[in-house]
Each structure stands twice: as C-alpha cells, then as structure tokens.
Amino acid sequence: MAKNIYSTPDLSKTSNKFDGFTIDFRGIDTPEATYRALCRWNMDLTEFIKDHSDVTGGNAYGSLQTKNGKRVAILSFWEIGYKENGVSKTHRANRMYPKGKESTFDGEGEGTNYIADYNWETNVWYRFVIRCWRDLSKNTYVGEWIQNLQTNEWVLFAYFNTNLKNSYLTKRLAQFQENFNSKYFGKERSFQIKNMYALDLVYKKWISLNKTTLSYDLASWGYDTAGTHEMGYTNYYFYGSTGLPVDDQKLYDSSNPSSVTGTINQPDTPNFNKPVIKSIIVTLTTSLMSINWIIDSKSCLCYQYQIQILYIFNTI
C-alpha cells in the first residue's frame, strides 16, 4: 500500500461540540483506489450511555473515492455496540435521503453508509459540508452537502437519522488520504485543502480551523506501506502527496519528517452564498394550503426552513 497522509486540525479554540464542519478540497492526482476522508468525527454518545452499558463505536466519515473507474461520494456511520441485560446488541443510523434502504458494510467497523456517483473532477475545488441538527423529538440527523466551486452547483448528497437523542459531532474533525488496493500503490496521489471551519454548538458560531498537523504512517492496518510522501502548506492551503516507489524505503523515511504543523491564511468565517428561491407555488383549497418551492442549485442549500403564513381576512 502507499502511505496514508493525515490532517488533524487544531481544535483548541473550540468546545469540541459541533453542529457543522466545512472544508474546501482539490484533488491534483486522483488515480484508481484512492480514498479521501474529508471529515472523520464521532457522534456524541452522552445520552445513549445513560441507558446502555459497554458502549463502543460511533465513528463517522464523509468522503470522496475513486473505485472501479468511477468517482463517488460517501457518507458512512459505524454501528454502536452495547449490551442489554448481558446480551450484545447494535445500534445503527438510517438513511432518510435519498429514499431507499441504506447499505451496510463490515471490515473496518461495521455500519451503514450511502455510496453513489458524484463526478468530482481533478484540479477542481469543491466545498464539502457536514451538518448536524435535531428535530422536535430530539432525534439527531447528519447530512452531507457538496458544492462544485467552479460551477457553483450545490447538491445535497445524503442525510441520515442517527437515532441518537441530543447528539452532535465531536472529536477530531480530521482528514486522511489512503490507497486501499496495493495493485495501484505506485500511483501518485496528491491533494490540497483549505477553508476549514467548525460550527461550534456551545459558542454558536463558525470557528476557523486554519492550523493543522499533517502526518504519514509507516504501516497501516497490518500492511506494509511504501513509496514517497510529501506534505506541507503555503499561505493559503495545506497539501500532501504519496505514492511513487523509492529504492531504499527505510533511508527515505528516516530522512523525511513524519509530521508538519502549519497555519494558513483564511477568513474568520466561511463564505456561503445566500439561499435563493427559484420558484414558489401556493395552492389553496377550502381545507388545505399546499406550499411548494425550489431552491436555486447555485445558491446555498438549506437543511431547515421556516414558513410564516399571513392571513388577511376581509370583513363585510
């Protein structure tokens, strides 16, 4: 396998309780068998633990991938293990959008996910957004939005009901790049990331995550890793590259830093364009009012809407 490169943002200015995360990403070299996790987090299990014992799991990922000649996006939730009256059980998230039965996976943590075509292109910047919210019954939902910053087109990729009460995103908000098929380990993989922000649940605002630590691994999940690695930062973005074979791997590794910490320049808050209603149709009968609207795909998509209806009564 090629080496993995990790990004661990500095969260010291946050409460480590989040309702959102956003990052801008560009793939420079994007060969087959490349997995790029743009956000790795944990769901908070404080409420869940009150009613369950021996609780494990709760990891989640939002990712882009090249596999079998396709470009796809992924939203993935590891299952949560617990015991009830001494019996081992599992708790899983359910997909709400798009409609349909969610996929299951095993291996590195079992769980549920949604994988679908998303034709992300090489050398194009994308904005990747993870958003968390709770409904009136305190169920917690998590959604994934992606914007092509070249065309400005937004898509709601998917959202899940985590079936957790009063939960939120916590821990890491990390990124990583990996090669998951050794057949393609010698291909160069490189990326750039910038404009990382966390929506802090306690402070009620977006906080800039302009400092991160980039690192690589010597071995991953029991497999030997090999090839070159490079990582660093400019004034405006972080970057990383892996993959090309070297003659003497140990000598190469010993002469290159295993981690780099840097700070880049970025605005204090993310720049999301405003939602724009493209069309709205109101249908009124004697007993029912129906309101349908379409949001322009180049404006920022919303996860919640508030509708106010003004009634005007004519009197005789």
Length in residues, the chain: 316
Mean pLDDT estimate for the chain: 92
Question: pLDDT by residue (tens digit) across 20-31?
Answer: 999 999 999 999
Position 86 scores a pLDDT of 85
Position 219 scores a pLDDT of 62
Task: Provide the percentage of residues in the chain whose pLDDT is more than 90.
Answer: 74
For residue 184, report the phi and psi dihedrals to the nearest 5 degrees: -115, 25
Report the distance separating Cα 69 and Cα 24, nearest Å.
24
CB atoms within 10 A of CB 239: 18
In the predicted structure, residue 315 carries a pLDDT above the cut 90: no
Q: How confident is the model at residue 285 (pLDDT cuts 50, 70, 90)?
A: confident
What tokens were used for 224?
């030997």
| Cα angle 104, 96, 57; round to 5 | 45
Segments in the chain forming alpha helices (H): 46-51, 249-254
Position 174 scores a pLDDT of 98
CB 15 within 8 A of CB 169: no
In the predicted structure, residue 313 carries a pLDDT above the cut 90: no
Say whether 48 sits in a helix, a strand or coil.
Answer: helix
In the predicted structure, residue 127 carries a pLDDT above the cut 70: yes
Query: Span 196-214, mean pLDDT?
Result: 98
Question: pLDDT by residue (tens digit) across 50-62?
Answer: 999 899 999 999 9
Question: pLDDT by residue (tens digit) across 221-262?
Answer: 566 788 999 999 999 999 999 988 999 998 998 899 999 999
Query: Span 283-309, mean pLDDT?
Result: 85
Report the distance separating Cα 221 and Cα 106, nearest Å.
15
Position 106 scores a pLDDT of 65
Report the distance separating Cα 179 and Cα 66, nearest Å.
10
Report the distance separating Cα 203 and Cα 166, nearest Å.
17
Global pTM value: 0.93
- Specify the residue for token string 């149709």: 281
Question: pLDDT by residue (tens digit) across 143-171?
Answer: 999 999 999 999 999 999 999 999 999 99
What is the torsion angle, in degrees rounded to the nearest 10, for the CA atoms of residue 249, residue 251, residue 252 and residue 256? 140
| Cα angle 71, 76, 81; round to 5 | 155
In the predicted structure, residue 35 carries a pLDDT above the cut 60: yes
Report the distance separating Cα 146 and Cα 155, nearest Å.
5
In SS3 terms, 279-300 reads as EEEEEECCCCEEEEEEECCCCC
Q: Where are the domains of the chain?
A: 5-263
82-96, 213-227, 240-254, 268-282: segment of lowest average pLDDT:
213-227
Position 103 scores a pLDDT of 75
Q: How far apart are the first and last CA of the chain?
A: 81
Question: pLDDT by residue (tens digit) across 63-76?
Answer: 999 999 999 999 99
Q: How confident is the model at residue 302 (pLDDT cuts 50, 70, 90)?
A: confident
